[in-house]
Chains A and B, each alone.
Chain A
């Protein structure tokens, strides 16, 4: 696997870190030579995911949000992880 690159950052679940996460992922993706439009879309998508974690993961206190970025050839995979209360699985309710 020659054309791969990974990075991981972990930070406090503070809203002031939303901007930091956007800039970090934008900086990491520049090696793929994206268009301005692609970077903007990427920042928006990451902002949504990070904000969800920051708002909903932890009821009390400040805890960690983790963002893992992996480049494989021309693709960038971004994973946002929190260790909070999770999302209720309501698939069953529809059956």
Chain B
């Protein structure tokens, strides 16, 4: 019978950097080139700011295990090399937090307490305040709610 040649139909969406072809009777493979690659959270200019002996941490929109790790690593490095008396966590951008965020705050609290320093949380939105309240951490760490008209 000889060789069988398979012709895979190609589809053109008209989008640069994409292609689509059938790989099987019921299966298509769409290839999309998405430019910048895996997002790295290592732009520390955005996360950390040091003013005198105060470290300000701009907590990202979501504080979960993944971003808490990044904050932990970065702040550890800063606390080891610079003389910091207070760490201020600015929650202005934060819309989501889970228990990983609580763990991260408690670890920083213990660290700073050992060094004779303090930490506090500022510009906290309603949703994040709920989690801080549920965990009881507000008893230990000063929390300042965000002050704005429409959104608490």
A contact residues vs B (CB 8 Å cutoff): 15-16, 18-19, 22, 40, 43-44, 47-48, 51, 54-55
Interface residues of B in 65-119 (CB under 8 A from A): 65-66, 69, 96, 98-100
Min CB distance B128 to A, Å, is 10
Are A47 and B64 in contact (CB-based, < 8 A)?
yes
What total of A-B pairs shows CB separation below 8 Å?
A: 33
Q: Could you tell me the dominant secondary structure of chain A's interface residues?
A: helix
Q: Which residue of A is nearest B65, CB measured?
A: A51
Question: Cβ of B127 < 8 Å from any Cβ of A?
Answer: yes
Query: What is the size category of the interface that chain B forms with chain A?
Result: 10 to 19
Are A19 and B64 in contact (CB-based, < 8 A)?
yes
Are A43 and B96 in contact (CB-based, < 8 A)?
yes
B contact residues vs A (CB 8 Å cutoff): 38, 62, 64-66, 69, 96, 98-100, 127, 131
Which of B66, B96, B98, B127 contacts A16, CB < 8 Å?
B66
Min CB distance B101 to A, Å, is 10
Are A55 and B96 in contact (CB-based, < 8 A)?
no
* B96 proximity list for chain A (CB < 8 A): 22, 40, 43-44, 47
Are A51 and B100 in contact (CB-based, < 8 A)?
yes
Which of B38, B66, B98 contacts A48, CB < 8 Å?
B98
Which of A19, A48, A55 contacts B62, CB < 8 Å?
A19
* B62 proximity list for chain A (CB < 8 A): 19, 22
Are A54 and B98 in contact (CB-based, < 8 A)?
no
Are A15 and B98 in contact (CB-based, < 8 A)?
no
Are A44 and B65 in contact (CB-based, < 8 A)?
no
Are B98 and A19 in contact (CB-based, < 8 A)?
no
